[in-house]
Structure 1
């Protein structure tokens, strides 16, 4: 049986007020009868209450340090010349639960812990309970087409509730998560950070999941691993041929000759000039050039005559 108040709180005699409070917080939560059903926990909890009641009060602590328990409980002997409060007898009120609640300032000492915005029930896990993991926390990760073509590194700051070093209280802290974006990732790709959600005594932290959301691009439309590039041309170009210059996402300028007659459903496929394949970066999709043919609004009689003679019937 532990008899010394310092031993009860597992601290040395030079402990500061902050260290006394920290020790009581940790041990009182550990041995509270509502959480700890082991034999002896009720007695230990009572000892903790009395030890904290004495050592947290400067005058009681000074008396205890000099005269011990007997001097504290029996009053300081008259030969020491003490009067008033210093010589009065100390009697612990015997209600460790009262000390406990006064220390935490409320009816629920576990109110610092939250999971899914729900306050935990007083007493924590009960015997036989099994910790369950909270549902995944999903967040959108907005990336440009250039990000997804070339790959990049994104750093995302999250705020989450974590258990403090005392193992009893919690606080909100920020953390930076680093995401290595792989070339070729598609819309909807999920990046999982296991157990990076809020911490709590009764649950396993949720996974944090980032879901890729591709932003629109001014020149290209993505279809799977292919890139669609639309060009506006005149009817004359569609009939007589031309070339198209395309600035690719990796910075190259490629010239594509069009020698075919371009009809409304025609497109030009450039093999291997599309998006990289994330599962095999040596492979790429295609660049598909489509055309928007702009017809003239009107033709002169002479132009109509020339077209009639130039085109086969």
Structure 2
């Protein structure tokens, strides 16, 4: 039969027009190219066209009838097998009302516009624009198909399990500079013959500079396939590995430095290495009191929602006092500091 349009739309062969519409909307919300990051755009465009073509065929009574009888090849080629001699002409015409039918697929964006535009009673252009600018493009960090499922409902009787979440450990350097991570997953899929096989896939995750612990990256419907079940989403949740030097506090970076009492009184210069390998020289010329915090502006973590901006670097200084002093040292301190208020 070639392409299985029913499987693509996640509906059974008896799906009603309403079932088809609901399932198309849910899948279109997931696979519209505007919703997916650049790294997945090619895959999303292909999936979106597949979903649109499946809906185009199954929602059109004539196309669906020809497809059910002759499959994708017969639908697209127009070379449908002729009726057997025992089949009456009237029966053939009823089953295939237009023997000269030629398949012309509709534009995927036109279908999308038509279905989503109808939600607002004719304001299709504006509504589609709102989805593109809002839900699709601004949903990379916390995307989840659960919102679209609850809004439009699932196609037919199909159910969708809860998302499968996995921790994604990231070093502070990766969250500072950005990084690409590749995660291998194994899942069960159904082939056209109905057999189940295990598929290994490599998922590419683009870590953006400034992402925080708890940021979620969703790969829609990458869970196991089961009859009557929509595959679960796979979600990776950013987790921050401890760093040997720095601690993150929101968009700020905090580092602790200890100095001696002599350095607190006479001055100290710090040489700090940033998370991207640069050196910062921080001179202390004033007398340093215990617990003081020196702030270096714009040397903290990148702010993901404000490109080009960073938080602050906060240097917390602790003064280490001597554990004991000799009589001579005390005498010298009194002599030197006796007149200092």
**Shared fold, TM over 0.5:** yes
Q: Does the alignment pair 1:137 with 2:164?
A: yes
CA distance in 2, matches of 1:197, 1:308: 74
CA distance in 2, matches of 1:206, 1:160: 11
8 Å Cα contact 1:274-1:285 kept in structure 2: yes
CA distance in 2, matches of 1:165, 1:237: 75
When normalised by structure 1's length, the TM-score is 0.58
CA distance in 1, matches of 2:160, 2:267: 63
Where in structure 1 are there 5+ consecutive unaligned residues?
1-9, 11-25, 27-34, 38-127
* SS of residue in 1 equivalent to 2:308: strand
8 Å Cα contact 1:148-1:184 kept in structure 2: yes
8 Å Cα contact 1:183-1:281 kept in structure 2: no
* SS of residue in 2 equivalent to 1:158: strand
8 Å Cα contact 1:137-1:209 kept in structure 2: yes
CA 1:259–1:196 in 2, change beyond 3 Å: closer, same or farther? Answer: same
Render the CA deviation track for 1:246-285: whole Å, top value 9, x for unaligned: 0111111110011222222201100000110111220001
8 Å Cα contact 2:189-2:197 kept in structure 1: yes
Residue matched to 2:319: 293
Residue matched to 2:286: 260
CA distance in 2, matches of 1:225, 1:251: 19
| Bigger fraction of residues in strand | 1
8 Å Cα contact 1:274-1:286 kept in structure 2: yes
| Bigger fraction of residues in helix | 2
Render the CA deviation track for 1:42-67: whole Å, top value 9, x for unaligned: xxxxxxxxxxxxxxxxxxxxxxxxxx
Render the CA deviation track for 1:118-168: whole Å, top value 9, x for unaligned: xxxxxxxxxx961011110000001101110000100000111111132x1
| Shift, 1:292, TM fit | 2.5
Q: Does the alignment pair 1:157 with 2:184?
A: yes
Give the counterpart of 2:205 among 156, 162, 179.
179
| Shift, 1:306, TM fit | 2.1
Residue matched to 2:217: 191
For the aligned residues, what is the CA RMSD?
Answer: 2.3
Residue matched to 1:211: 237
Render the CA deviation track for 1:157-190: whole Å, top value 9, x for unaligned: 0111111132x12122111100000000111111
Structure-to-structure mapping, 1:15-94, within 5 angstroms:
none
* SS of residue in 2 equivalent to 1:239: helix
CA distance in 2, matches of 1:252, 1:305: 44
CA distance in 2, matches of 1:145, 1:129: 45
CA distance in 1, matches of 2:323, 2:211: 44
Give the counterpart of 2:295 among 260, 269, 273.
269
* SS of residue in 2 equivalent to 1:302: helix
Q: Does the alignment pair 1:244 with 2:267?
A: no
8 Å Cα contact 1:264-1:291 kept in structure 2: yes
Equivalenced residue count is: 192
